[in-house]
Amino acid sequence: MHILKYYKKCMSKYITFCGRATRKEYWYFTLANMLISLSLSMIWMALTSEDLWDNNPLRRIYLIIIFIPSLTVSIRRLHDINRSGWWILLCLIPFINIILLLCFCVESDEGSNKYGIIEIDDDKKDIGKP
């Protein structure tokens, strides 16, 4: 159920460039997008008997829809590790974009930073309560 919670959270903040996104939020959203994209490709392949990735309008439409939410969660993830959202431009440079991918794997800054405070997950709020 976690994956759906984080997917909905990111989609509800689809135009929010400020704030922070935890590692878990970013990677669950990315995983959900990959699974949905793969599912759409498999559905298209079953309906048309074409190759999995060739000329798939279902997947293309989904990728267009998901572009802005993916961009915003990536920028919020950079904010979470106290980096400017402009670092997202590194993804346009071949081989340097690997640095950006590694940044998405870095643990969150503890407490608050210049981009705001970190949101506590619902499952962590109940720790220590009877």
Beta bridge partner(s), residue 116: 113
What is the Cα–Cα distance from 98 to 90, expressed in whole angstroms? Answer: 9
User: pTM for this structure?
Assistant: 0.84
pLDDT digits 0-9 by tens, 55-103: 788 888 999 999 999 999 999 999 999 999 999 999 999 988 898 899 8
pLDDT digits 0-9 by tens, 20-50: 999 999 999 999 999 999 999 888 888 887 7
What is the Cα–Cα distance from 33 to 42, expressed in whole angstroms? Answer: 14
- Amino acid identity of residue 5, one-letter, is K
Of 119, 123, 105, 113, nearest to 26 by C-alpha is 105
